[in-house]
Amino acid sequence: MTDNLGKARWLAVLVPAALLGGAYLSQYGFGLYPCEMCWWQRYPHFAALALGLAAFWLKPPQVWTVLAGLAILTSGLIGGFHAGVEYGWWEGITGCSAPPSGTDLLDFKAAPLIRCDVAPWTLFGISLAGFNFLISSLSGAAIVALAAYRR
C-alpha cells in the first residue's frame, strides 16, 4: 500500500461518514428535515461508505477506493444541482420544487412537506446542498487522484 492510497482509503470512509453524520445531526438535532433531492445526495454517500470500507479488505484496494471517490463526487454533483435549484438558477425536476398547481384540497394534501427549492439553512449564503457540492466534489476528486497515483 502506498502512502497516497492509505490517505485515499481513509478519506473514502471519513468523508461520507462525516457528511452523513452532519446530515442526520441537522435532521434529528436541529429539525432540518430532508427534501427529496437531499435524499438523492445521501444515497451515493451510503454507497461510498460501503465501497470505502471494502477497500480495506478487498483486492485491489485502488479499485474500491476510486469507486468510493466517484460515489462521493456523484453526491457532490447532485448537491450542485440541488443548490442551483435552491438559488433559483434553474428549475428542479421533482414535484417538491413547486407549490401545488390547483386550489383543490386534494392537491394541497398531495403537496410535499419539504420544498426542494427553498434552502432551510445557509451559512455565508451557502446552503447545505452547496456545502455538500463543495466538500464532496473536492474530496471525491482528491480521493480518485490519490488512489490512482502510483509511485
pTM, rounded to two decimals:
0.82
Mean residue pLDDT of the chain comes to 85
Q: How far is CA 79 from CA 28, 31, 136, in A?
A: 20, 20, 9
pLDDT tens for 71-88 read: 999 999 999 999 999 998
Residue 1 has pLDDT above 50, yes or no: no
Cell of 87: 438559488
Asked if 133 contacts 2 with a C-beta cutoff of 8 angstroms, the reply is: no
pLDDT tens for 16-54 read: 999 999 999 999 999 888 999 999 999 999 999 999 999
CA distance 93 to 107: 18
Q: Provide, rounded to the nearest whole percent, the portion of the chain with pLDDT above 90.
A: 50
Q: How high is the pLDDT of residue 118?
A: 81
Q: How high is the pLDDT of residue 42?
A: 95
